[in-house]
Amino acid sequence: MAVLTLNKWNMSIGDGQPLFVIAGLNVLEDLELARVTARRLKGICRDLGLPYVFKASFDKANRSSIHSYRGPGLEKGLEILKEIKAEFDVPICTDLHEASQAEPVAEIADIVQIPAFLGRQTDLVVATARATHSRGGLLHQKKSQNMAPWDTKQMVDKVREALGGAQISILCERGTTFGYNNLVVDMLGIGEMQKLGVPVTIDATHAVQLPGADPRTQGASTGGRREGVPTIAMAAVAAGADGVFLEFHPNPDEALCDGPSTLPLDRAEGLLRSLKAIHTARS
Residue numbers annotated as active site: 26, 60, 258
Residue 196's CB: how many other CB atoms inside 10 A? 19
